[in-house]
Structure 1
Amino acid sequence: MTEKLVFKRPESVIDRATHYCPGCQHGVIHRIVGEVIDEMGLQQKAILIGSIGCSVFLYNYLNVDAVEAPHGRAPAVATGVKRARPDNFVFAYQGDGDLASIGTAEIIHAANRGERVSIIFVNNTVYGMTGGQMAPTTMIGQKTTTCPGGRCAEREGLPLKMTEIISSLGGVAFAARTAVNTIKNINATKKAIRRAFEVQEGNQGFGFVEVLSTCPTNWKMTPIAANQRVSEELIPYFPLGTFKDIDSEGGE
């Protein structure tokens, strides 16, 4: 019987063991990004912008050139890199505390200007690397190290829906929210990331994909329970789908 290889590591993904916590879905998203880079032939001209948080470690696993930005400043750094090297493919990979809190100004203005960059936003509703503090996307009632009694709408406000905010801005060519908790959603995530990359390659504008993800360690859950939480709690509040696609809007 002849064996046939049906599943292999993307060339853009470095062959090394992941350091992420059990059940963390950063690794799943990394693979998707690597697959899309390979399929679009972007590896030799890609420049990754990493920011602070668990998301920054993508540069340890993706075999592309990379620049590390200060906390929250990845869209600003991406803007500078793309303007200096317009023929390169420039993308950033950010977490929710990084993008939606300290980096709010950078993401909003880069999107509004229509910078020709692509942003992958991993939303696990908590600061991961820095100690499990409340993030702008932390759910109502969710306990963190800085709101041990649970987030309260009257005190901290409602969780920010970043994709809805980004999609309302004029420079945005594509904005979508996906998840990686099921095979169906993984496939949708790959499609969305590819589309966010395509609008940059087509010089159409800013591309944005929010990916709902787990953080079993800071959620204090097993990987299985954390995956269920995405379906039962996160998705009802953060609905999945494409919120803006310039090609479906008559090329606005």
Structure 2
Amino acid sequence: MGDELVRVLGIDACPGGWVAIELVGGTFAAAHFAAELRTLVDTTTVGVIGVDMPLGLLTEGWREADHAARAVLGPRRASVFLVPPRTVWERRDFDAANAHCRALTGNGLTQQSWGLRHKVLEADALRERMPSRLYEIHPEVAFAAMAARPRADPAADWMAMVAAGRETGDLIPSDILAAGGRAVVARGVPRLPTHIPLVHAKTTWAGAARRRALLRAAGIVLPDDLGPANSVPPVDVLDAAAVGWSAHRIATGHAGRLPGTGQAQLDDRAEPIAIWY
């Protein structure tokens, strides 16, 4: 199948349910909304579905993928929450979950993480049913990879990014160093970092504009009218589109994963845990 025929779905949790951006050939095709994740998954025939939700839970300890994602995001590391073991999510209330998490990992659980409990378990149930179709994707990791993606002329692209960064503040040396992506000159051509974390949070005007511009540069132009997703907050739409971008890269064999080297950590069902981009 040619890249122009590849259909994928990028899904993000949002108030009241889930929003999905469907891409065909890497470009926008449709937006969807559903109260339940399984509705979006069961009503589509796409081969690759990216989800911004943890896929793969452990018996104890922390997931290596979350630590790897935090490492590449530098100033945006707080956007990745550490996913506690399965039995923490199975507790009935926050106090019990927090105490159990501390007993298993040495650290407590945040209220924000606990607020995702229902959706974490919803995604986990679908992963058990169809592990080969669902991929965990973190939007901020995707946007950071989008910002760093090489063009036809790496040297010219690097200089363009530096020039743009000086004007907008979207690229500063500390961000690159924090992401572990120091440019290395080899044969006179700079090697681009794999991730450039964005300076502004997605909830700010500058952050939302930057993310929409990155999507547009990647060929994903979001229309003003999203039909069933018109009432979804803009940040969730942008995140779903970024997840779709990475899903397309998975489907076409161009994606990377975190951790990026060695054998992936296995969850308590012996399935690999990875955050894709």
Q: Which has the higher contact order (CA 8 A, sep 6+)?
A: 2
TM-score after normalising by structure 2 = 0.22
TM-score after normalising by structure 1 = 0.24
Structure index of larger Rg: 2
